[in-house]
């Protein structure tokens, strides 16, 4: 319920739950320290989880979800921290590193997420929402914002194309290879209204059939995964070096 790390369980401040050494479970009065990992008043994981790994990698392994935005329209990326005391920051993936999102009158951070009052083409990319509290930081969500060009949707919804029938998608002509209906077009539907559902489905099928757009999606996700792998190896190497480092007092004795 409260995640996979001792710190998450501690930060929940739930008097009926505690970290038992492996999971966050129902609190059971016990003399052993491993059954007393809870701090309702201060919720300081640095003290309660001193011998636990505060940077559990499983916490940061968050799947990327896709959100579609229409150029020059508003778009919202949702991210709500588990703890109201946590500080939330938004970053955008740039090659192999994260850059904090620059906030202004057009891009506003709210308690529920990141609001683009007017989304532009250059806003497209992978956005990472992170929270930090008492020295414990974790990734809450990863969102790939795909910005649809305004003239594309305008053409889609124009009266001339309202009853246009698109040619069959080559990838779907063989019934044996036909995949189940995709639900990702619902993001677009929310932007332009339910009355245009048939046109939206046709448009999204055309996008999926477009080999160039599929390659663009794949290349972006491949670059993102490569950057994540580099960051993971860097963290592992750093943590291994810290574990192998000798205490200062040992050097003093020598």
**Are 87 and 31 in the same domain?**
no
pLDDT tens digits for range 57-92: 444 567 888 898 888 889 999 998 877 788 999 999
**Are the C-beta atoms of 37 and 125 separated by less than 8 Å?**
no
Quote the pLDDT of residue 21: 74
**Are 84 and 133 in the same domain?**
yes
Q: How far apart are CA 112 and CA 77, in angstroms?
A: 8
Establish if 48 belongs to a structural domain.
yes
Q: How far apart are CA 3 and CA 127, in angstroms?
A: 21
Last residue of a domain, one of 114, 147, 180: 147
Range of the domain at 67: 59-147
pLDDT band for 41, please (50, 70, 90 cuts). Answer: low
pTM listed for this prediction: 0.58
Last residue of a domain, one of 118, 147, 176: 147
**Are 42 and 65 in the same domain?**
no
pLDDT tens digits for range 176-195: 444 444 444 455 555 555 55
Least confident of 21-35, 38-52, 188-202: 188-202
**Are the C-beta atoms of 170 and 211 separated by less than 8 Å?**
no
Quote the pLDDT of residue 6: 77
**Are 63 and 143 in the same domain?**
yes
Q: What is the CATH number of the domain that holds 31?
A: 3.30.1680.10
List Cα–Cα distances, 41 to 14, 31, 45, in angstroms: 10, 20, 12
Number of folded domains in the chain? 3
Instruction: Give the residue among 148, 146, 161, 160 at the shortest CA–CA distance from 192.
Output: 148
Establish if 168 belongs to a structural domain.
yes
Q: What is the CATH number of the domain that holds 112?
A: 2.60.40.10
Establish if 202 belongs to a structural domain.
yes
**Are 129 and 190 in the same domain?**
no
pLDDT tens digits for range 91-114: 998 777 889 999 999 999 999 999
């Amino acid at each position: 319920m409260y995640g996979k790390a001792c710190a998450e369980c501690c930060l929940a401040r739930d008097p009926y739950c505690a970290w038992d050494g492996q999971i966050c479970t129902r609190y059971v009065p016990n003399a052993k320290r491993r059954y007393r990992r809870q701090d309702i008043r201060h919720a300081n994981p640095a003290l309660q989880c001193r011998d636990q790994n505060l940077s559990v990698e499983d916490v940061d392994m968050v799947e990327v979800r896709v959100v579609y935005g229409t150029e020059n329209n508003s778009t919202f990326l949702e991210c709500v921290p588990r703890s109201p005391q946590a500080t939330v920051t938004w970053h955008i993936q740039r090659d192999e590193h994260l850059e904090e999102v620059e906030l202004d009158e057009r891009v506003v951070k709210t308690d529920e997420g990141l609001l683009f009052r007017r989304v532009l083409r250059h806003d497209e990319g992978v956005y990472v929402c992170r929270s930090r509290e008492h020295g414990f930081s974790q990734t809450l969500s990863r969102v790939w914002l795909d910005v649809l060009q305004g003239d594309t949707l305008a053409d889609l919804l124009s009266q001339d194309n309202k009853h246009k029938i698109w040619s069959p998608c080559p990838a779907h002509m063989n019934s044996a290879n036909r995949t189940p209906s995709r639900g990702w077009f619902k993001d677009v539907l929310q932007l332009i209204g339910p009355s245009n559902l048939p046109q939206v489905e046709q448009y999204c099928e055309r996008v999926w059939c477009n080999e160039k757009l599929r390659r663009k999606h794949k290349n972006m996700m491949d670059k993102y995964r490569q950057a994540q792998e580099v960051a993971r190896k860097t963290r592992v190497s750093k943590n291994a070096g810290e574990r192998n480092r000798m205490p200062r007092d040992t050097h003093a004795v020598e």
